[in-house]
Every structure is written in C-alpha cells, then in structure tokens.
Amino acid sequence: MERHVQRFLNKVSFVSITVATLTLLFFFLQTPKTCIPPNAPQKPHLRFPKSICDSSPRHYLPLPKKNACLWSSKSWMTQVSSFTQFFTYLYQMGLPKNHSKVLCVSAGAGHEVMSLTKMGLEDVTGIELIESLPLVSRADPHNLPFFDGAFDVAFTGHLPEALYPMQYAGEMERTVRKGGMCVVVVDEGGDEEVKEIVRLFRRSRFLGSSNVTLNGRKVTRIIMRTKVS
C-alpha cells in the first residue's frame, strides 16, 4: 500500500516536472509581442544612426564630439554670425579691443562667446546657471564669482528675465572696471523701456541706444559706461 502511494506520487512529480519544463521551453521560444513596438525594425541591433547628429536617444557622447556636432549645426553658425555682426559695431567703436576682457552674462550655450573669440578677442568669459563647457562656465549672474573691475566689458541679452534685475545689473557693474562698458540687449522698445534698464545701472552713465537685429529678433542695444568716480 505504502509503495503504491510512493509510486503514484513519483508519477505525479514526473508529470509535473515535464509539464513545467515544456511550459518554460514554450515561453522561452515565444517572442513576447508586447515588448516590441509594431513599427520597430526587424533587427534593432543592426540599426545605426545616420550620423552622430542623429537625434535618436543615445546614452553618452563625449563632450568634444557633442560640441563638434553642435557647433557645426546650421542654427549654431547662423546665431554666431549674427552675434558677430552685432559686435562688429562695438568693435568699430573701439570697444572691445583684442586684449579686452569681456564677460558674457547668461550666455546660454555660448554663441556670443564663440563669436567674440573668433573676432580675435583673447579673453572672453561666459557664465550661465547651467554650464556648457568649454565656452560657458556655471555661475549665478546675481552673485558673480569675479573680483571688482575684473572685466572691461560686460554683455547680456537676458537682463529682463532676471529674478532680481537690480542685483543682476549691480553685479555687471561691479565686475566691470571703472570706465568700462555694460552692454545690454532687450526686446525692441522706446525711450521708456531704455530708461527703465538704464535706471538699474546706478553707477553708470548712459552712452546710447539703437535698434538692431540680433538672431532675427528686433532688439534695442543699450550701452552704458561705468562711472570713473
């Protein structure tokens, strides 16, 4: 009787193991339909991006390659050349000179930094809340990590978006030497808008403003000179 039960249990185990193995084998050989999007290429591992600029998600691209890619894009080059046109006017006025130290505040990805560097300026610093090395380092425009009077010229196109415009302007003035320049670009506006910006620069004298085009935007360029005394 005992033996009979034993044999029966053995048989049950054997059948269970066989069924389980076959089931596993079945699932193993089955391609789960839900894991592959319907329009996926047949062999995803054989699909290569067309170029390194391919926009499909990618885990890691070394910085020099990423920059080479960004800097050769059409939109990048267009913006840099627009900045070059913009700065050429200042350059012709004699400021900045090749040896001038220029600070670009809220420089974004660094278009203006590259433009000034290509124009022959040897000492251009770009800062932004998010760094874009090697053109732009990370710093808070409201609390610049530079000595008083460290620069000859400070430029920004993002003063109106500042959280504390007064402090932002104050930091530009502080880091520019006495007799240096603060250049601000804002959306095109009349005298009132210009006065509003100039009022933020309490230790500077208004030199002039003009309406120009920058990156396809109509803007007003405001130039101020920091007071000597």
Ligand X SMILES: *[C@@H]1O[C@H](CO)[C@@H](O)[C@H](O)[C@H]1NC(C)=O
98 is a site residue for ligand X (CB under 6 A): yes
Residue 173's nearest CA partner among 90, 98, 86, 103 is 103
Q: What CA–CA distances, in Å, run from 181 to 115, 138, 228?
A: 18, 23, 11
Question: Can you tell me the distance from the alpha carbon of 216 to that of 209, in angstroms, rounded to the nearest whole number?
Answer: 18
Tell me whether residue 118 or residue 174 sits nearer to ligand X (CB atom): 118
Interface pick for ligand X out of 209, 221, 222, 225 (rule CB under 6 A):
209
* Contacting range for ligand X; rule: CB under 6 A; set: 19-27, 59-67, 154-162, 203-211: 203-211
Please name the amino acid found at residue 217: R
Q: What is the CA radius of gyration of the chain?
A: 31
CB of 165 to ligand X, least distance (A): 20
Interface pick for ligand X out of 11, 211, 217, 227 (rule CB under 6 A):
211
Q: What CA–CA distances, in Å, run from 43 to 34, 57, 98?
A: 16, 17, 55
Question: Can you tell me the distance from the alpha carbon of 101 to that of 221, in angstroms, rounded to the nearest whole number?
Answer: 20
CB of 185 to ligand X, least distance (A): 13
CB of 120 to ligand X, least distance (A): 2
Interface pick for ligand X out of 188, 203, 206, 207 (rule CB under 6 A):
188
CB of 211 to ligand X, least distance (A): 4
Tell me whether residue 120 or residue 145 sits nearer to ligand X (CB atom): 120
Residues 101-140, interacting with ligand X (CB under 6 A): 120
86 contacts: CB under 8 Å, gap ≥ 6: 115, 185, 212, 214, 221
Give the residue nearest to ligand X (CB): 120
Interface contacts to ligand X, rule CB under 6 A:
98, 120, 188, 190, 209-211, 220
